[in-house]
Structure 1
Amino acid sequence: MENIKRLVENKPCWKDSDETAIRAPYTHLALKPGKNFRSELIRLFNLFYGLSQDQVTKIEQLVSILHNSSLLIDDIEDSSETRRGDVSSYIKFGIPMTINSANYMYFAAMQVLQDIAEFKHHDNHVDVHLLKDLMVIFNEEMLNLHRGQGLDIFWRENIPDIIPDESMYFNMVMNKTGGLFRLTVRIMERLCKDLKYRNGECTLVPLSNLLGILYQLRDDYQNLTDPKMFAAKGFADDISEGKLSFPIIHGLKYESMLNITNNTDNTPLLDMILKKPMEKEKKLEVISYLRDISRSLEYTEHEIMKLTGIIKNNGYIPSDNEKLTSQILLVVDKLSNISY
């Protein structure tokens, strides 16, 4: 009983070995190299915002934690067997441990926000007004992320009753993929000393939204075509997940219109998507349909190029610094490059 008294009168005991154990599913994924695109984007945006290196490092840490944690959950929700060329964490450590690890790291990310809001004077203290603003941004964009992910899953589980159109798809992507892009920009603008960004007179949020959509469009395309992605995530795993990616949505809409035009009820693509095939031969049949019959892959290529033009030619990229503008254009060109 003396041990109980000592226990309850102090802070909860927590050992490094405990921390290592519950972080293991997260660490398994985080140690595998990813694309690092978000970190590159943060450093690029900082050429406009001029934050300190410490602030940039903390923002990179925050976004990395959120991104990796969301992937842990994504793999469970999508039954993905591989991630970054290795077995998915939930297969190695189990679903309960992986869910807990991902949720734990979401709260670890919130602690990073407190670090960002901390002033370094004679002793460390937190700017409570700044922390409140950062927490509002964090909460709003995490809600958006889960809304987008939730819709993506809802559509998948309710096909063919619901097949989204393009506007529904883009809105979902704005939430799902755009959430972390927006979170990054909004936090940087709140920390920026340049009042035109802090007061909202200038903002890179629309640009970040467009980059998020472009990123997801390209990802959907590459999932069905890119050998490098096959090596990292498995062969065309969007098909085995039954995911309504952009090319698949276009293919299903084409198939539906073809049946209306011909007064038929022939649904080979829908039938294959509903089966969520694991066999490579079946997946190749889906890809063949999207490439040769509905021409959905070609349509996706055109939409990627069209979106690239919108980003470049509509004033979304700041033009007051030619060198910085050219670096953003390089990022846009990199995102729109679908050659292998």
Structure 2
Amino acid sequence: MITSSNTMQRREISFKPHLDPYHYLINNTSGKGFRFKLIEAFNVWFKLSEEELRVVQNIVDKLHNASLLIDDIEDNSKLRRGKPCAHLIYGTPATINCANYVYFEALKDIQKLNTSFVGENGLNTFSDAISIFMDELLLLHEGQGKDIYWRDNGICPLEDDYLQMVQNKTGGLFRLGVGLMRAISRDEKNKKYDFTTLVNLLSVLFQILDDYLNLQSDIYHTNKSYCEDLTEGKFSFPIIHCITEQAKNGDTRLINILKQKTSEKLLKDYALELMKETNSFAVTLEKLDRVYQDLKKEIEKSGGNSYLEKIIEGLMSSAKQVEKSC
């Protein structure tokens, strides 16, 4: 008996081995709390219903976790939250397929949002939501592509180019979530605010903090591996600063270490010494503080949001705690 395609589509499939890498990842990570809280913070402005809020949170969470599956493959990572990466358990082909499946599953979830009404601008909000989804995923992959290109070709980017890449790669999902909320919000007053600058600053703060912790945090080293960005050959903010400062004197030591993608602790320790010599960690913290101050101004310009302020204060406190321990 041949089953029709429609019947197969409607049938509830209980056994889904193609999702095993995804379920393995989410069962071994605890990072979604930050993104859930971030979306809840923006809901102070957009005032979505509880149901709408959960749908947006789940869309962003699915996309984030699917991107982690791909990131770990592209970065040749071994650990994620102290556990072996999914592709080391299930294989690279199955993990790539799983991540792609979840991307489309997240796209399908947009249908769960109440996007049937026509907003003040006369545009159908379902069309808006799809455009936001596609545009931000394209920017995310463009940013990721630049990051990979610099790494694999040993090209140290300028700071401004790096920050633009971060706004695409890290900011993509942040803007996607906020964009979906804005598209379906009935709060016409707060919908008129342009949150792009605020979200871009937030993505820069988040990524530079991650760059700092990757090289300086003992907890980070336990959950991932010791100074993993050096093993990946990644041009992070403190690494870019150090290489740029060394280049003024014709010094190529750090970029040569980075190109080796070393796992040797001795070389990594030496790389950290080089970054301290150029005050790269201090400069990173100064940059974080400037972005933090700009963020507070943007929040105030948008009408204030104590919930969001507490979230970014929490991010800054993690950097200060690590600074004290170094």
Query: TM-score, normalised to structure 2's length?
Result: 0.91
Q: Please, which of 189, 204, 222 is the counterpart of residue 213 of structure 2?
A: 222
CA distance in 2, matches of 1:111, 1:197: 27
1:80 aligns with 2:77: yes
| Range with bigger deviation, 52-61 or 6-15 | 6-15
CA distance in 2, matches of 1:182, 1:67: 13
Name the amino acid aligned to 2:148: I
Per-residue Cα deviation, 1:252-300 (whole angstroms, up to 9, x for no partner): 11111122xxxxxx42211111111112222111111112x12111110
Name the amino acid aligned to 2:137: M
Contact 2:193/2:302 (<8 A) preserved:
no
Contact 1:25/1:101 (<8 A) preserved:
yes
Q: Structure 1, unaligned stretches of length 5 or more?
A: 120-127, 260-265
1:335 aligns with 2:320: no
CA distance in 2, matches of 1:9, 1:97: 24
CA distance in 2, matches of 1:83, 1:269: 26
Contact 1:204/1:316 (<8 A) preserved:
no
SS at match of 2:269: helix
| Range with bigger deviation, 244-253 or 33-42 | 33-42
* Number of the residue aligned with 1:68: 65
Contact 2:246/2:252 (<8 A) preserved:
yes
* Number of the residue aligned with 1:251: 242
Q: Please, which of 155, 160, 175 is the counterpart of residue 167 of structure 1?
A: 160
Query: Residues 46 and 298 (structure 1 numbering): CA distance in 2 closer, same or farther, change over 3 Å?
Result: same
1:136 aligns with 2:119: no
* Number of the residue aligned with 2:28: 32
Deviation, 1:144, is: 0.6
1:54 aligns with 2:47: no
Q: Please, which of 268, 283, 300 is the counterpart of residue 299 of structure 1?
A: 283
Relative contact order, CA 8 A, sep 6+: which one is greater? Answer: 2
Query: Residues 55 and 10 (structure 1 numbering): CA distance in 2 closer, same or farther, change over 3 Å?
Result: closer
CA distance in 2, matches of 1:76, 1:33: 17
* Number of the residue aligned with 2:293: 309
Contact 1:83/1:232 (<8 A) preserved:
yes
Query: Residues 280 and 318 (structure 1 numbering): CA distance in 2 closer, same or farther, change over 3 Å?
Result: same
* Number of the residue aligned with 2:178: 185
CA distance in 2, matches of 1:294, 1:76: 32
CA distance in 2, matches of 1:336, 1:10: 52
Q: Please, which of 241, 249, 274 is the counterpart of residue 259 of structure 2?
A: 274
Query: Residues 320 and 307 (structure 1 numbering): CA distance in 2 closer, same or farther, change over 3 Å?
Result: closer
CA distance in 2, matches of 1:187, 1:278: 41
CA distance in 2, matches of 1:98, 1:235: 24
CA distance in 1, matches of 2:273, 2:12: 54
Contact 2:115/2:124 (<8 A) preserved:
no
Query: Residues 320 and 132 (structure 1 numbering): CA distance in 2 closer, same or farther, change over 3 Å?
Result: closer
RMSD between aligned alpha carbons?
1.8
SS at match of 1:16: coil
Name the amino acid aligned to 2:293: G
SS at match of 2:124: helix
CA distance in 1, matches of 2:5, 2:142: 41
- 1:72-111 equivalences in 2 (<5 Å): 72-111=69-108
* Number of the residue aligned with 1:45: 42
Name the amino acid aligned to 2:133: F
Query: Residues 317 and 84 (structure 1 numbering): CA distance in 2 closer, same or farther, change over 3 Å?
Result: farther
Deviation, 1:197, is: 3.8
* Number of the residue aligned with 1:125: none
Contact 1:42/1:184 (<8 A) preserved:
yes
Contact 1:72/1:99 (<8 A) preserved:
yes
Deviation, 1:336, is: 2.1
SS at match of 2:249: helix
Name the amino acid aligned to 2:105: A
Query: TM-score, normalised to structure 1's length?
Result: 0.87
Contact 2:115/2:125 (<8 A) preserved:
no
Per-residue Cα deviation, 1:160-206 (whole angstroms, up to 9, x for no partner): xx3211110010000000001101111111111111344xx313222
- When Rg is computed on C-alpha atoms for both structures, the one with the higher figure is 1
Identity of counterpart residues, as a percentage?
Answer: 35
1:290 aligns with 2:291: no
CA distance in 2, matches of 1:9, 1:78: 38
Query: Residues 270 and 50 (structure 1 numbering): CA distance in 2 closer, same or farther, change over 3 Å?
Result: same
CA distance in 1, matches of 2:300, 2:52: 23
CA distance in 2, matches of 1:242, 1:32: 26
